[in-house]
Amino acid sequence: MKLVFTPEAEEQADECDRWWREHRDVQDLFARELAMTKTLLCEAPTIGSVYATLDGIPVRRVLLRKTRAHLYYSVDDGAELVKVLAVWGAPKGRGPSL
């Protein structure tokens, strides 16, 4: 499977990475955890739990455990594509607008 980010998700991931680099001792933790999760999603795209349905398509989410961020994504089996729709901090207490 191929994995792509929407422009919004890319911006959110960049923002999370910047925050970790500025505020934490393990500055590259978010980047490393994101890279591992991207690889995992390409190999096992249904690993995340179904969070919602958007235009009839299930939106899944997976937690990056150490950094407490969720990746919200959809899977298009026919196109062999995983599309990341949002990168959102779990501590925010609410989900992103999808």
Model confidence band, residue 11 (pLDDT cutoffs 50, 70, 90): very high
Model confidence band, residue 93 (pLDDT cutoffs 50, 70, 90): low
31 within some domain = yes
Q: Identify which has the larger pLDDT, 5 or 27.
A: 5
What is the predicted pLDDT for the residue at 95? 74
6 within some domain = yes
Domain of residue 26: give its range: 2-91
Query: With 80 as the cut, is the pLDDT of residue 90 above it?
Result: no
DSSP label at residue 95: P
98 within some domain = no
CATH code of the domain in which 82 resides = 3.30.2310.20
What is the predicted pLDDT for the residue at 35? 97
21 within some domain = yes
61 within some domain = yes
CB-based contacts of 4: which residues, under 8 Å, 6+ apart? 81, 82, 83, 84
25 within some domain = yes
9 within some domain = yes
81 within some domain = yes
Task: State how many domains the chain has.
Answer: 1
pTM of the model: 0.91
**How high does pLDDT run on average in the chain?**
92
pLDDT tens per residue, range 16-53: 999 989 998 888 999 999 999 999 999 999 999 999 99
What is the predicted pLDDT for the residue at 10? 97
Angle between helices 29-43 and 7-23 (to 10 degrees): 140
